[in-house]
Amino acid sequence: MTTGGKTPRAAGGWREGDPAGRRLWYSHDGPLAGLPAVRLAYETWGTLNADRSNAVLVEHALTGDSHVAGVAEPGHPTPGWWDALVGPGRPLDPAHWFIVVPNVLGGCQGSTGPLSTAPDGRPWGSRFPLVTARDQVAAEVALADALGVDSWAAVLGGSMGGMRALEWAVGHPDRLGALLLLACPAAASAEQIALASTQIHAVRADPLLGLGIARRIAHISYRTEAELATRFGREPQGDGRFAVESYLDHHADKLVRRFDPDSYVVLTESMNSHDVGRDRGGVRSALRRVTARTIVAGVDTDRLFPLTQQEELAAGITTADDLRVVTSDHGHDAFLIESDQVGALVRELLPARVPSGA
């Protein structure tokens, strides 16, 4: 992949010296998740109340970050990825909830990852160790301790974020009261690993070109054949390319400008390794550990994480209601796009407000 542990400056990602934006940092001195030390970038909205009962953890997906809400600004290359859900009068209202959104361990937006400096003084680059969703949650547990959050009112996550949310609920059942799992599995399937490993090979062959190719492959799996047919069909452009090719090129270019190739590999491998039943007696046994009030939701057109995987979660978690289905033409990406439907699930999971805790 990269040479000598260095990532080309043309690659995206936050680096020391870049504007901090809204980020805060938590530093854990000492070994954690196989690393000699860990730093997590995170953002918060609202205020932790006196009895610490109103904290909500939001877990981002593969190429997301801590900037869940707000405009694009120095330090934040894109607007908030769930902006419609966080803010005054929205399902996650900072007037009532203390909302915490960390950049995942292994990410490239301020947390320890391949862009970070290794003990030898060089960037980790492709030498960064494998981290699992369980490792990433271990870092978030340390963050919660530092924030004084003994128990989350709720943990919410979709896609890769749902994997970590599930790990929280299984590994630390006494530390969350409610759980929302969106478009995620109990364990990565063979097909998902196959799609992801193809993307990894592309990045390892050429970091920047490969990252663009990986994004094109991934984006096809995020949407639906029907949507692509309706929006683009076989329409050509003036340059001779099909319109759908231009669409994929646009999304590839956007990601390359803001994301680090090594981090993409690290996080994709963490998704491939996801298995909530590992060393816990299997998936069924692991899911029975969940005690949080749970809503599991899938997308009817999701071809990356199909409804059968959410059916397994809803059936195996004894505190879950029946599976909820988000109806959409957008496929897997509906968990980010269908804000009205997803917002209704958040409102159902969390009351409109909590006591002040005074």
Catalytic residues: 159, 302, 332
How many beta carbons lie within 10 A of that of residue 335, not counting itself?
A: 29
Backbone angles phi, psi at 40, to 5 degrees: -115, 130
- Contact status, residue 58 vs residue 152, Cβ threshold 8 Å: no
Q: Are 168 and 57 in contact (CB under 8 A)?
A: yes
Residue 305 contacts residue 278 (beta carbons within 8 Å): no
Token pair of 183 as six digits: 């478009």
Q: CB neighbours of 298 closer than 8 A, spacing ≥ 6?
A: 182, 183, 305, 306, 307, 309, 310, 311, 323, 324, 325, 326
For residue 317 the two structure tokens come to: 């978690």
User: Please, which residues have CB within 8 angstroms of residue 250's CB and are 6 or more apart in sequence?
Assistant: none
Phi, psi of 165 (to 5 degrees): -60, -40
Exposed/middle/buried for 356, CB within 10 Å: 0-12, 13-18, 19+? exposed
Helix axes 133-147, 160-171, angle to 10 degrees: 70
Give the tokens for residue 263: 């981090």
Half-sphere exposure of 227 (CA within 13 A, CB side): 17
3-class SS of residue 223: coil
Q: Which residues contact 265 (CB under 8 A, 6 or more apart)?
A: 1, 126, 200, 203, 204
For the beta sheet containing 98-102, the strands, ordered from the edge strand earlier in sequence to the opposite edge, are 24-32, 35-45, 98-102, 55-59, 154-158, 178-182, 293-299, 324-326
Written as one letter, the residue type at 258 is: R
- Residues 223, 333: Cα–Cα separation, whole Å: 6
